[in-house]
Structure 1
Amino acid sequence: MSTPADLWHFARPDLASRYLQAFDLGLVSARGLFARRRMGKSEFLKHDLLPAAEAAGYAAAYTNLWDDTDHPGQAIAAAILSAVQPKGLARFWDDLSTPVRKMKAGAKLPMGVEGSVELDLADKEKLAVPAIQAALQLTDKSRKRLVLVLDEAQVLANPEHRQVAHSLRAGLDIRKAGIKVLFAGSSEAALREMFSRASAPFYNWAPVEPFPLLGDEFVVAIVAHIKRLAKQPLPLAVAQQAFRKLKETPEFFRWYVERYLLYQEQGPEAALAHTLTRVHDDTGYAKTWKELGRPDRAVLLLAAAGVQDLYGAAALKQLRELLGTEDVTPSLPRTSLRRLTGPRMQAMARVDHGVYRFEDQEFEAWVRSRRTVD
Structure 2
Amino acid sequence: MNANPPIFKRTKLAQRLASQILANKVGSVASSGLFLAAPRRTGKSTFMREDLRPALEHSGAHVLYVDLWSNKATDPGEMIVSTVRAALHQNANVMARLARKIGVNTIAVPGVVELSLNQVGLGVAISLSDALADLSDELKKPIVLIIDEAQHAITSDKGYDALFALKAARDELNSSQHNGLRIVATGSNRDKLAMLRNSKDQAFFGAPLVAFPALDESFVQWFCEGVDLPAPLDPKAVMALFAKASNRPEILGAAAEELRFDFELQPGDVPARFEASVLAQISSAEKETLRVINSLTPLQSAVLRVMAARQADFAPFQEDTLSAYNVVLRSIAPHETLEPDGSNVQQALMALQNKGLIWKETRGVYAIEEGSTMDLMRQQGMLDMVP
TM-score normalised by length of structure 2:
0.69
Task: Tell me if 1:51 matches 2:50.
Answer: no
Cα separation, 1, equivalents of 2:105 and 2:375: 50
- Structure 2 counterparts to residues 65-214 of structure 1, below 5 A: 65-69=68-72, 70-80=74-84, 82=86, 86=90, 88=92, 130=126, 132-133=128-129, 135-136=131-132, 137-161=134-158, 162-176=160-174, 178-200=180-202, 202-204=203-205, 206-214=207-215
- Counterpart contact for 1:77–1:128, Cα < 8 Å: no
> Judging changes above 3 Å, is the alpha-carbon distance between structure 1 residues 360 and 335 closer, same or farther for their aligned structure 2 residues?
same
Alignment-derived partner of residue 247 in structure 1 = 246
Superposed CA deviations along residues 106-157 of structure 1, whole A, max 9, x for unmatched, are: x86799xxxxxxxxx9999968894735641322322121221110111211
- Counterpart contact for 2:66–2:80, Cα < 8 Å: yes
Alignment-derived partner of residue 31 in structure 1 = 34
> Judging changes above 3 Å, is the alpha-carbon distance between structure 1 residues 183 and 314 closer, same or farther for their aligned structure 2 residues?
closer
Runs of at least 5 residues in structure 1 that lack an aligned partner in the other structure: 97-106, 112-120, 350-355
Cα separation, 2, equivalents of 1:209 and 1:331: 38
Alignment-derived partner of residue 220 in structure 1 = 221
> Judging changes above 3 Å, is the alpha-carbon distance between structure 1 residues 368 and 184 closer, same or farther for their aligned structure 2 residues?
same
Superposed CA deviations along residues 302-343 of structure 1, whole A, max 9, x for unmatched, are: 677x78998576764223343523623699889978997x9x
Cα separation, 1, equivalents of 2:289 and 2:75: 27
Query: What is the SS of the residue equivalent to 1:68?
Result: coil
- Counterpart contact for 1:84–1:142, Cα < 8 Å: no
Deviation at 1:358, TM superposition (A): 7.9
What amino acid maps onto 1:72 in structure 2?
P
- Counterpart contact for 2:68–2:147, Cα < 8 Å: yes
Cα separation, 1, equivalents of 2:52 and 2:346: 39
Alignment-derived partner of residue 325 in structure 1 = 337
Alignment-derived partner of residue 361 in structure 1 = 372
- Counterpart contact for 2:37–2:210, Cα < 8 Å: yes
Superposed CA deviations along residues 152-191 of structure 1, whole A, max 9, x for unmatched, are: 1112112422222222222222113511110011121221
Superposed CA deviations along residues 178-215 of structure 1, whole A, max 9, x for unmatched, are: 11110011121221011113333x14152111111112
Deviation at 1:53, TM superposition (A): 0.9
Deviation at 1:368, TM superposition (A): 5.7
Superposed CA deviations along residues 56-84 of structure 1, whole A, max 9, x for unmatched, are: 11111111012234333443344345557
Cα separation, 1, equivalents of 2:192 and 2:164: 17
What amino acid maps onto 2:234 in structure 1?
P
- Counterpart contact for 1:35–1:185, Cα < 8 Å: yes
Runs of at least 5 residues in structure 2 that lack an aligned partner in the other structure: 107-116, 315-319, 361-366
Cα separation, 2, equivalents of 1:290 and 1:131: 48
What amino acid maps onto 2:165 in structure 1?
S
TM-score normalised by length of structure 1:
0.71
> Judging changes above 3 Å, is the alpha-carbon distance between structure 1 residues 87 and 10 closer, same or farther for their aligned structure 2 residues?
same
> Judging changes above 3 Å, is the alpha-carbon distance between structure 1 residues 32 and 371 closer, same or farther for their aligned structure 2 residues?
closer
- Structure 2 counterparts to residues 288-307 of structure 1, below 5 A: 289=293, 294-301=298-305
Cα separation, 1, equivalents of 2:105 and 2:21: 32
What amino acid maps onto 1:318 in structure 2?
V
Query: Aligned residues: percent identity?
Result: 24
Q: Which shifted more, 20-29 or 67-76? A: 67-76
Cα separation, 1, equivalents of 2:282 and 2:92: 43
- Counterpart contact for 2:187–2:193, Cα < 8 Å: yes
What amino acid maps onto 2:236 in structure 1?
A
Superposed CA deviations along residues 211-243 of structure 1, whole A, max 9, x for unmatched, are: 1111222212211223xx333111223312321
Query: What is the SS of the residue equivalent to 1:22?
Result: helix
- Counterpart contact for 1:259–1:275, Cα < 8 Å: no
Q: Which shifted more, 319-328 or 290-299? A: 290-299
